[in-house]
Structure formats: C-alpha cells, structure tokens
Chain A
C-alpha cells in the first residue's frame, strides 16, 4: 500500500480465561419447525412457467453470480404476456436485499401472529420495475392470485407479499374465507394486519394490538399470541375496514 501508515501495537493481553462453551440456540419443536417451513413456501404460478424459467436462466448466465440481481433481457420481457410476467415476478427477484443477520429460530412459531411477513427472497428483492408491474396491474394481479390460490389450495408467501404491495384491501373477504378453509396459515392474519396498518385504519391504530406490533416501542419481529380471540378480532376489524370502503 503506497500510503503512509502508522502501526500501533496493542498491548492488551489476549484473553486467557474463557467462559464455558455453549451449544446452539434452543431448537424449536418439530411442529414449530414444520410451520416455519410452511411459512417460507412460495406459490409457483403455472402461467408460462417453463418459458419464464428459460429466460431467467439466460439472464443468470450473463451475470457473474447465480441468483438475485439479474433481470431478464428487455426484449425477452416484452414478449411475455401479463400472466407470464406475473409468473416471472413471483419466482424471480431483480434487486438486492441486505440481511443484518440470520434470525434465531423462533420457538412455537405456529402459535404466533407476526407483525410482518417472513423474508422469503434471501439476498434478493423485487426491483422498482417489478413493484411497478404489480401496482400498475393490481386488478389483474389480485385476480390471478385468487385464481391460482384456489387452484393450488395455497397462498404462498410471495402472493401475500404481492397483496400487501398493491394494498389489496378488496382481498380481505377472500383472505378470511381462504384462511378459514384450514385455519393453518397465520400469515394470512399478518396480511390482514399489514393491510390495516397500510391505511392506518383508525380503530386498528388505536388498539393495543397496533401498539404491540407497529407502535413506537415495537420491533421488527413483534408478534401476537395466536388464539381465537385475537383471530376473531383481526377478522372483525379487517371486515369493518372492508365494509367502510363500500
């Protein structure tokens, strides 16, 4: 290095006494771990899937790193139908994400209603173009999500993210009806919470739930205990919001 350097010697002695070494973080129960895996699943749309995958593989091949941060070629993108573009955006991210750290395993994850949806795209994220597509085509996007979810009987984390992204308040009745099919996917309740938070729905903003999940003293990983009372309250508030729109 062609620059003047001053080298200082630290005179502190290395640590010679060590605390007892400990094992890993507490392991979540098999039920909790299974629910975590369930939460992280995406729904892969069927529309032009092979065609889109081929285009993505071409985009990746011209980049230097496999995976995130590569958009398909503009001329390829323009050849896609709206449904095929939807597939592309649901299975591929064009921009980057930054992750502070791997989060510790969540104990009793299946018994919690989280303030936010899980981070499903790793070091990737939707680009501005991708978000613009969702918003600009929101009616079609929401209709496709509903159609695809009914077919696959699953509302993947990417679909829920898209609903929140476009502020899909008109999906509230569908979300509640879909959730009640098996009462399993508590992230649908999170989606309802995020929709209410997105418009700062006054009865929700004034609630203790809001303070805990999104208030000044909340943190990003905040959650409510899953129980029927909280579930019913979320339904009730979300439907009241929906009805107030009509």
Chain B
C-alpha cells in the first residue's frame, strides 16, 4: 500500500529525489547473529525522515550553483574510477574525474544523468552539502532500520539472492574484466529505477554505497553501506542490510554516494 502511495506521488510530479519517508520512533532489531562488527541487537531510535532515494546529480548541482563549493576530487585530482578490464578491487585514478564526470571526462558527463545519484564525492564533501541543505547522514542504525523495512533477514525481501536484479543495480559478471549491463546499467542507474522496499526506499542495495555517520573500531576510516553497481556476488557481495564498508574520508569513488536524513523540528 505504501509503495502504491509512493508511486502515485511520483506519478503526480514530485521528483523522486525530494521524497522523504518517516520512520517512527521505536525499538528495532539490527545486526546479524554472530557478526563481529554488527552483532544482532536491539536499538532505540527517535523518529526521523530519510530520503526515499539517493541524492541525485540534480540536487548536488543546485548545491554547487548556490555555494560555489569545490569538491575534494576537483581540488586533489585523485578520484578513483572504473572501466571494464580491471582486476578485482582495482580502480583507476583519473585526474579529470569529479561529480560532473564520475568516471573521467573520457567516459562522459552527467548532462543526461541528472536523475542518477551523485558520485565521486567524498565524505568530507557530503558534510558541506548536508550543512547547506539542512540535512545529515543517517547513523549506521538509522540506515539499517530503513533498509530492512521491518525484515530481520540479510535482504529486506529475505535470503534469496535471485531477487537482487528486481531491487538493485549490481554487477552480475563473475569478474570485472568485461563490461556487464545485464540489468540495463553498467555504472549508476537513475534513482528509483528498481523496485523499492516496503518502506518505499529505492536502491538501498546497489547503485551507490551510501555513507553513514559513525565509527567502528578504526576511527580514521569512514563508512558506507548497501553496496554499489560495482559489487558482485563473487567480489564484495555486501549489497545487504548487514555489512558495513569503509573508506578514507577524502576518497572519491565513482560508486560512492549518499542518502540523507531530514531533521525533525
């Protein structure tokens, strides 16, 4: 019913990247039995609104226009990009890559991808965006509660990985030596291209890793969740509600983005 309501709203013109979903105050189960970093536990959270989609290029462009902000990748010229043919977990530095050219100028810009999630931005960049927009990143727990949509399983639909292609833009090839567009997209897809979870959140798995607030053991690293278009079953199969990734706070990858939480006054 909620999904139907959301579809109705989208049909009547509300851009999907401006839709927020209210998560009610309460006690929720997060984590997985026996998981070292994310053990099964209950947590209490206050009510919050979380984006139905990842933040898009359109929204980030509005921020840049308003502030003139220059991202880490634009200043440091050290964004990490992907092209087919790379070994597993291998990325290319591309001095031309930034949010406007997520995989470098030679691989195209975002002119026709304004409804895709913004990428090639760092955790540090996101902090500036959030301050401007009056939003914040979700905590680990807030992200997980929203992604689970009431489920206690690895995925919000259960444990069956064959349903991934219904809900998530991920990599279906065995490796990354050859391009894979099995699900229609090699890189990012427009937000809300795949089916949402029961809370009406799109792309909680795949598309882009979503940064969260908080630290685990390593206080230098920052963390992102949900996997990305790059992630496959064979390498980094962590497009789920359990795992927590890590990266340098100033690193800019073309599979990293974010979803925000709106403050409740």
Contact = CB atoms under 8 A, between A and B. Distances in A.
Nearest to B260: A1
B18 A10 contact: no
Contacts of A24: 34-36, 39
Say whether chain A's binding surface is mostly helix, strand, loop, or mixed. Answer: loop
Interface of B: 2, 5-6, 9, 14-15, 18-29, 33-37, 39-42, 49, 52, 59, 62, 76, 78, 80, 88-89, 91-93, 124, 133-135, 149-150, 152, 174, 198-200, 209, 216, 218, 220-221, 227, 231, 233-238, 243-251, 253, 255-256, 262
Contact of A66 (B39, B52, B220, B247): B220
Contacts of B92: 128
Contacts of A122: 218, 221
Given A6-B18, A19-B40, 7 more contacts: A5-B262, A6-B9, A7-B262, A8-B19, A19-B152, A100-B243, A125-B91
A2 to B, nearest CB: 8
A12 B250 CA distance: 37
Contacts, number: 179
B245 A98 contact: yes
Contacts of B218: 122
B33 A69 contact: no
Contacts of A2: 62
Contacts of B253: 96, 98
Interface of A: 1-16, 18-19, 21-26, 63-69, 95-102, 104-105, 122-125, 127-128, 216, 218-220
Interface centre among A10, A16, A216, A218 (most CB of B within 10 A): A10
Contact of A102 (B37, B39, B89, B227): B37
Nearest to A123: B248
Contacts of A65: 220, 248-250
A5 B20 contact: yes
